[in-house]
């Protein structure tokens, strides 16, 4: 009989091999998991499978996913992001790098209201990339700013990454949302500081918007536009996140209120109609189905991995690493970064992370802090070639004159800035733990 350790290694190799030949990730997970489990235990192991699948589809916390997705898609399809970008862009356009700063701010607001990278990158790319090129912005800087602003939704709550991580690490969604709030703002401030420095040392790459394009908006008009275009989604975000972090509502309840709030905003702006509703529902269905299909297909893989003794193999591997808990965290961060070049964050979360969590539980590592570190690391996977999804999304809507090289070169500085933010969180854990500890999570 084949030793279980070899079956585990073969399962991992089989999964990677199936992916490399073009088999969808979810199918690769299920096939490699079922084959390995059958080789190790026959049909016995899979008597647990119905309960595992039932547990996923009836998980009350995961019900927040389609509701938050609906909220985000509705705000994106109803042109709320477009209006925010125009207003904030004109307000900050007088600075070198001002349009870039506006894009980052819109990324923060879109991230806090949608959490969907594709929607933010595509929307901001369509609206701003031609204008940035026309105003003399460097192609690579323009692409980097747009892609990085779109990924902010992966760390700024309400994030799908954080919802799934809460299920994996066994911590409450509210605790992770509270813990991610300050790190998300820190990352946005690092991006903005980079653009301001770039505006000083290389102003030709991030020029200010000419005054002639901004003289149609005075102080009074700007205040009215901010009240009309920025205030409603901002209040919706504060209400949704505040109710979760403050313990007033469960994530699913807050998500339902967010979905209702997005409908009200679309109605108030006179954009709510049947075509918009149909498009929003279709987008919500596609995104939610993709997430849950991968979650379901990951179950035979994780069940086989645990049943065949994979966790003990991981324990043995970590015992060989120098540095104890410190070395283990560095190894995990490096591994997740490398996996981010080839896998999506969902696969990394549900394949790699559960393998290593028992090790950190034995060390007594703060799971909330570790989860935010992982979320920040996974965020980089959207910007790292060759399979960075934010890069693909932007390439799909980029005008002629923007090459793949421009997009890749533009992403590199922001990947380094994300790595800097990860180092800051590692050195100063209080940035993660202070808020949830203060409000009692």
Residue 1 is predicted with a pLDDT of: 42
**173 and 245 Cβ atoms separated by less than 8 Å:** no
Q: Sort residue 54 into left (φ over 0), alpha (ψ -120 to 50) or beta.
A: alpha
Q: Is residue 24 part of a domain?
A: no
Q: Is residue 40 part of a domain?
A: no
Q: Which domain holds residue 210?
A: 66-299+309-438
Q: Is residue 175 part of a domain?
A: yes
> pLDDT (tens digit, 0 to 9) for every residue of the chain, 441 residues total?
457 778 888 888 888 788 778 787 788 888 988 998 888 888 777 787 888 888 878 877 778 778 888 887 887 788 776 777 777 777 776 778 888 888 888 888 777 766 666 667 777 777 778 878 877 888 899 899 988 988 888 888 877 788 888 888 888 888 898 899 899 999 999 999 999 999 888 888 888 776 666 555 555 677 777 777 788 888 887 888 778 777 788 778 888 888 898 899 888 888 888 999 999 899 888 878 877 887 788 788 878 887 887 767 766 777 777 777 888 888 889 888 887 776 677 777 877 787 788 888 888 889 999 999 999 998 888 888 766 778 877 877 777 888 888 888 888 999 999 999 999 999 999 999 998 888 876
What is the count of structural domains for the chain? 1
Distance between CA atoms of 309 and 150, rounded to whole angstroms?
Answer: 39
**207 and 96 Cβ atoms separated by less than 8 Å:** yes
Distance between CA atoms of 421 and 188, rounded to whole angstroms?
Answer: 10
Residue 424 is predicted with a pLDDT of: 94
Dihedrals φ, ψ of 96, to 5°? Answer: -65, 125
Nearest in space to 353 (alpha carbons), one of 386, 388, 387, 381:
381
Token pair listed for 330: 């560095």
Q: Is residue 236 part of a domain?
A: yes
Pinpoint the alpha helices (H) of 202-250.
219-229, 231-245
Q: How many CA atoms lie within 13 A of 114 on its CB side?
A: 32
Token pair listed for 99: 């349009």
Distance between CA atoms of 156 and 105, rounded to whole angstroms?
Answer: 12
Q: Is residue 9 part of a domain?
A: no
Token pair listed for 234: 């901002």
Cis-peptide into 158, omega within 30 deg: yes
Q: Is residue 129 part of a domain?
A: yes
Distance between CA atoms of 439 and 441, rounded to whole angstroms?
Answer: 6
- The string of DSSP letters for 237-306 reads HHHHHHHHHTTSS-HHHHHHHHHHHHHHHHHHTT---HHHHHHHHHHHHHHHHHHHHHHHHHHHHHHHHH
Nearest in space to 168 (alpha carbons), one of 56, 306, 312:
56
Q: Is residue 22 part of a domain?
A: no
Q: Three-class SS of residue 386? A: coil
Distance of CA 306 to the CA centre of its chain: 27
Q: Sort residue 365 into left (φ over 0), alpha (ψ -120 to 50) or beta.
A: beta
Q: Is residue 60 part of a domain?
A: no
Distance between CA atoms of 64 and 262, rounded to whole angstroms?
Answer: 15
């Amino acid at each position: 009989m084949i030793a279980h350790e070899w079956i585990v290694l073969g399962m991992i190799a089989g999964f990677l091999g199936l992916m490399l030949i073009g088999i969808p990730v979810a199918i690769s997970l299920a096939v490699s998991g079922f084959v390995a489990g059958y080789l190790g235990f026959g049909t016995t192991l899979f008597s647990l499978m119905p309960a595992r699948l039932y547990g996923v589809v009836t998980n009350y916390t995961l019900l927040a996913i389609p509701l938050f997705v609906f909220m985000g898609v509705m705000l994106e399809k109803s042109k709320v992001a477009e209006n925010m970008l125009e207003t904030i862009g004109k307000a900050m356009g007088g600075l070198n790098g001002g349009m870039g700063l506006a894009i980052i701010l819109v990324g923060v607001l879109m991230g806090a209201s949608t959490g969907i990278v594709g929607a933010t990158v595509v929307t901001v790319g369509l609206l701003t990339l031609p204008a940035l090129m026309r105003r003399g912005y460097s192609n690579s800087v323009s692409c980097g700013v747009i892609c990085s602003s779109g990924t902010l939704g992966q760390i700024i709550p309400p994030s799908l990454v954080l919802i799934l991580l809460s299920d994996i690490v066994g911590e409450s969604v509210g605790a992770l949302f509270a813990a991610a709030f300050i790190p998300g703002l820190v990352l946005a401030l690092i991006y903005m500081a980079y653009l301001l420095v770039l505006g000083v040392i290389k102003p030709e790459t991030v020029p200010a918007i000419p005054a002639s394009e901004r003289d149609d908006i005075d102080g009074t008009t700007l205040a009215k536009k901010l009240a009309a275009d920025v205030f409603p989604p901002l209040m919706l975000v504060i209400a949704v996140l505040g109710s979760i972090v403050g313990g007033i509502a469960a994530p699913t309840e807050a998500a339902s209120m967010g979905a209702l709030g997005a409908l009200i905003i679309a109605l108030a702006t006179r954009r709510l109609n049947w075509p918009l509703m149909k498009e929003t529902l279709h987008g919500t269905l596609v995104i939610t189905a993709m997430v849950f299909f991968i979650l379901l297909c990951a179950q035979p893989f994780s069940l086989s991995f645990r049943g065949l003794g994979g966790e003990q193999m991981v324990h043995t591997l970590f015992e060989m690493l120098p540095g104890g808990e410190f070395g283990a965290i560095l190894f995990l961060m490096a591994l997740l970064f490398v996996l981010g070049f080839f896998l999506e964050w969902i696969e990394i979360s549900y394949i790699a992370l559960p393998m290593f969590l028992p090790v950190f539980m034995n060390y007594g590592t703060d799971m909330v802090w570790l989860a935010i570190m992982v979320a920040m690391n996974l965020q980089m996977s959207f910007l790292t070639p060759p399979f960075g999804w934010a890069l693909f999304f932007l390439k799909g809507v980029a005008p002629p004159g923007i090459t793949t090289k421009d997009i890749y070169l533009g992403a590199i500085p922001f990947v380094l800035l994300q790595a800097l933010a990860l180092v800051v969180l590692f050195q100063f854990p209080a940035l993660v733990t202070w808020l949830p500890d203060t409000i009692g999570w």
